[in-house]
């Protein structure tokens, strides 16, 4: 079995074929409107048009770019009664403490798509307000009327009573892409959990369609996708974990840099990964067991807190294709 690594960037798509202990590299122009086109063309040129005796590990910036550009599915947000402003209020942290007229924060979900319902529990898992049949009928009617493309459910302390969140999620219209906070990020903190759940819902249909088209073009080929943590997940499950793919591309490069540092016996290193659009830097350190990139659950992308595990990487919007001038 041969292994093909694929890194999709905004400018180029890079491929590496590992077979019989030898490496071959290949580069094609990316096709941002349909990233799988460049991947399939590159694999055909690298491995042969009819070959299928390989597996694919794929790092991608599709989720990142969609979030940064504000693209994605029209998403509804469902939470407990009294908490429909949860995403807007956040932690009430201000980036400019002394600005008396700060600009309003961006809306992750518009108010008309934020819904409140029953099903509240306390920190001990005790039911304070049940999710009733009337709640289900009312929520289902409202969601059907507004017809969102995706639904994100984020109830307080949901990870202590996942059955309630599943019941709420069942009120979504048939065929609607639905994410539940206890599956996306089962931790304390309804705001961070809600942001992750909404992003997973918003990006899920885009990621699902793109990976499905890629799988259709590579029948019978095992496909894994790099996650922000530097670990991989099967492509079939990746769409349900779209928020975990926000640093998919940079994490792959960082994993490679950590491998080189490990093989060279370097205990401390700084990675520098310049693409056509941006440049990523990260610190690589070693302990007694391994040399690897540092992880964080306090990342931020596009101004939103991303509390899922991800490599601690810093990005600037200047790459090899950037232009500098004197004003």
- Is it the case that residue 76 has pLDDT exceeding 90? yes
Mean pLDDT, the chain, rounded, equals 89
pLDDT tens digits along 278-301: 788 999 886 655 656 788 888 888
Q: Which residue has the higher pLDDT, 199 or 294?
A: 199
How high is the pLDDT of residue 171?
96
310 three-class SS: strand
How high is the pLDDT of residue 288?
53
- Is it the case that residue 242 has pLDDT exceeding 60? yes
Nearest Cα neighbor of 72 from 64, 81, 83 is 64
- Is it the case that residue 93 has pLDDT exceeding 80? no
How many residues comprise the chain?
A: 327
177 three-class SS: strand
pLDDT tens digits along 104-152: 778 899 999 999 999 999 999 999 999 999 999 999 999 999 999 999 9
Lowest-pLDDT range, 67-76, 143-152, 313-322? Answer: 313-322
Which residues sit opposite 305 in a β-bridge?
A: 300
**233: pLDDT confidence band, cut at 50, 70 and 90?**
very high
How high is the pLDDT of residue 298?
85
How high is the pLDDT of residue 158?
95
pLDDT tens digits along 253-271: 888 888 888 889 888 899 9
Average pLDDT (7-25) is 89
Q: How far apart are CA 216 and CA 24, in angstroms?
A: 25
**Residue 299, number of CB atoms within 10 A of its CB:** 19
Q: Are strands 54-60 and 2-8 parallel, antiparallel or unpaired?
A: parallel
How high is the pLDDT of residue 75?
97
How high is the pLDDT of residue 142?
96
How high is the pLDDT of residue 103?
81
Residue by residue, DSSP assigns 18-78 as EETTEEEEEEEE--TTSHHHHHHHHHHHHH-TT---EEEEEEE-HHHHHHHTT-S--EEEE
Q: Which residue has the higher pLDDT, 237 or 104?
A: 237
Q: Under a CB-based contact definition with an 8 Å cutoff, are residues 89 and 206 in contact?
A: no
Average pLDDT (190-206) is 95
Q: For residue 235, what are the CA distances in angstroms to 30, 57, 231, 308?
A: 20, 9, 13, 18
């Amino acid at each position: 079995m041969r292994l093909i690594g694929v890194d999709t960037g905004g400018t180029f798509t890079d491929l590496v074929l590992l077979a019989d202990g030898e490496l071959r590299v290949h580069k094609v122009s990316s096709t941002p409107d349909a990233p799988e086109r460049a991947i399939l063309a590159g694999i055909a040129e690298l491995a042969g048009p009819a070959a299928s005796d390989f597996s694919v590990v794929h790092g991608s910036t599709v989720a990142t770019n969609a979030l940064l550009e504000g693209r994605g599915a029209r998403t509804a947000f469902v939470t407990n009664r009294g908490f429909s402003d949860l995403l807007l209020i956040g932690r009430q942290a201000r980036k400019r403490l002394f600005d008396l007229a700060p600009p309003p924060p961006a809306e992750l979900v518009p108010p008309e798509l934020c819904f409140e319902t029953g099903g509240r529990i306390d920190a001990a898992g005790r039911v304070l307000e049940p999710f009733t049949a009337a709640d289900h009928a009312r929520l289902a009617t409202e969601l059907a009327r507004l017809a969102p493309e995706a639904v994100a459910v984020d109830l307080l302390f949901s990870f202590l009573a996942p059955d309630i969140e599943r019941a709420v999620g069942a009120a979504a219209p048939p065929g609607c892409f639905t994410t539940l906070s206890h599956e996306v990020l089962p931790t304390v903190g309804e705001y961070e959990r809600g942001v992750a759940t909404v992003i997973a819902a918003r990006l899920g249909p885009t990621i699902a369609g793109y990976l499905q088209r890629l799988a259709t073009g590579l029948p019978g080929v095992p496909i894994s996708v790099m996650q922000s943590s530097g670990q991989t997940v099967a492509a079939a499950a990746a769409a349900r974990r779209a928020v975990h793919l926000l640093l998919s591309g940079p994490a792959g490069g960082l994993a490679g840099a950590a491998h080189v540092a490990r093989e060279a016996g370097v205990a401390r290193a700084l990675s520098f990964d310049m693409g056509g659009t941006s440049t990523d830097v990260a610190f690589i350190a070693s302990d007694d067991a391994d040399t690897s990139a540092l992880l964080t659950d306090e990342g931020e992308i596009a101004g939103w807190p991303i509390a899922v595990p991800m490599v601690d990487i810093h990005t600037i919007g200047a790459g090899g294709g950037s232009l500098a001038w004197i004003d």
